[in-house]
Amino acid sequence: MTKLTLSSYPHMLGFEQLERLLERTAKSGNEGYPPFNIEQTSDRSYRITLAVAGFAEKDLSITVEDRQLVIRGRQSDDGMDRIYLHRGIAARQFQRSFVLADGVDVGDALIENGLLHIDLTQTLPETVVQTIKIKRG
């Protein structure tokens, strides 16, 4: 069986990057930790909220890598020898990623009450009409 790709269609010129983006998104394999919400805050702005209880600002990093928003969390060992009778609070590291469309920019990040908020804004591209001059051969 042959895999159909966007390049198989002659009217879909230059969409190879979109195909790679879809494959990368499908392979991201984000687990369910930490849980998150995505809300639309206006016509062109969004907010991603992650539940990061127990993580301090120094334990979190937010980067944009190749149009992909990557949030990483790693709790530092406080060096104290504790004896737990029960340990039900997750203290594991995580990486959560979101693929950003062209024109989506990452704004401010705010942590409050165990929730990490990341604001995104979308700018619309200007419509450009280009006239191509025909040359004689």
Three-class SS string for 94-121?
EEEEEECCCCEEEEEEEEECCEEEEEEE
Cβ contacts of 29 within 8 Å, gap of 6 or more: none
Residue 127 placed within a domain: no
Tally of domains in the chain: 1
What's the pTM? Answer: 0.71
- Chain-centroid distance, C-alpha 12: 26
pLDDT in tens, 49-90: 999 988 999 999 999 998 899 999 998 766 577 788 987 876
Residue 101 placed within a domain: yes
Residue 20 placed within a domain: no
Residue 5 placed within a domain: no
What residue type is assigned to position 1 of the chain?
M
Residue 129 placed within a domain: no
Residue 24 placed within a domain: no
Encoded tokens for 89 = 């609070």
Residue 80 placed within a domain: yes
Looking at per-residue pLDDT, the higher value among 2 and 13 belongs to 13
Q: Assign residue 80 the CATH number of its domain.
A: 2.60.40.790
Encoded tokens for 19 = 């195909």
What residue type is assigned to position 52 of the chain?
V
Q: In this predicted structure, what is the pLDDT of residue 128?
A: 86
Q: Where do the DSSP E strands lie in the chain?
A: 36-42, 45-51, 60-64, 68-73, 94-99, 104-112, 115-122
Q: In this predicted structure, what is the pLDDT of residue 82?
A: 78
Instruction: Please count the CA atoms within 13 angstroms of the CA of 79 that sit on its side-chain side.
Output: 0
What mean pLDDT is predicted for residues 34-52? Answer: 95
Residue 3 placed within a domain: no
What 8-state DSSP symbol labels residue 22?
H
Encoded tokens for 54 = 């127990």
By residue range, what is the domain housing residue 113?
30-122
